[in-house]
Structure 1
């Protein structure tokens, strides 16, 4: 499958603009690390430029933690939730962004959905990766631009109005129905990850491992997909490459650390080598 979509390879003399610009909108007062994990993964995926938009309370800390990024502080309500007017500060750079990652670590669902609903039209030209609470946008209707959603079984149950038990009993059916209803590529995460496209395409990936089920792993996966999309992969390809490379990074850490106990923050460091190796293998085949 991956051989159909070779990773974009920029010319040796290409500058960072050629590899795309990814915007990560993420984090909250209680979970600033989610923004960091997603943002670093986007760069490790090979994106050329990175901007982070995060609640003002955590923006400066993220700027120090990721000096490679531009960081924009977003206005917050007294409750800590994002204010819709914060989207105005992103409008000026919207035309520069080729991929958007929204949701890791964000809190207060109602505020998040209102913010994302106002944000999406600014990035109609970009591939959007919706994660965590940002996925709640689809509860109000289908997405009308290229998008990837990354629910686990519990999130899928909530978004679809089903039960977790029903999703686990028929993950293929749940993913297929969601992709069609939401007009988006869906990666239903689990021991086996089901990838579904809006046109009915279905794939199952069984190469994950128990160690990947750790705090922050999903944030890393969302950022990875966004970075691959920024490089030029279409949504389905970015989704598929992200799932496989994420698992490959986990497998590498399992060999060096053991099957359990490695950290999500360690996954990103494995990604460049894993992507390079996967690319060479697919080219050879």
Structure 2
């Protein structure tokens, strides 16, 4: 029985499973789709790569944890494997693509924005640069309170919202401006910098998730349809197999970051006492459910119908 079950084999779930496995936990990842990747999945058909979600990633300044994993797996050993994207973003307006969006040159060429919107873009960028405590890893520290992304850009030219902020927020994150918090958006925008430094994966945007999954116990084709509380803890139900069990169950994405102290390994002498089980806790993010996560129990192990990646 694994110490931890992670539900979801996207980048967040696999990265956390990788960290827990390195800490000594026995981890299993359950994924509903027939392949890993989540929002960074790539389809392969007729010799073509089709990225179904994100198509590029900012530099290490904007995504330091991602780039640490890329380097740890040696995915950037070949410079051509993670190439820079020329003209990463363009604004579609007036029946054609307007280049240089998100780059200083765009302030001169327009990048699809009229002069008034360009001037407000410069004001907006200056405002972000002057804000303190804009940290993508701690968006709750942003000095924006309960403001939404819509509130953040309300004072500026409407084209700034409609032709730049809205496409970025919706296209990259799937956010609704009227309901998405301004803090995470502002922090990521400031940290990511110019789109001139953005890159992509030559072999598909699922390159990192495939590398992570190859080193983990991942079961695909295993949708988790229900997590129910039982007297003994929690049970994960799936139409793919009988209920699964583990010591801890974590669905992804999470509003907190897990840490796990692994079960001490027996080297000699008597078995460790029953209390020596994995201890899992979280950093101080808000969590609305019970804590610590209850023990998963009941049911039998998954059947052979779901497919393992290794």
Point out the structure with the larger helix share.
1
Does 1 or 2 have the higher relative contact order (CA < 8 Å, sep 6+)? 2
* Higher-Rg member (1/2): 2
TM-score, structure 2 normalization: 0.24
TM-score, structure 1 normalization: 0.26
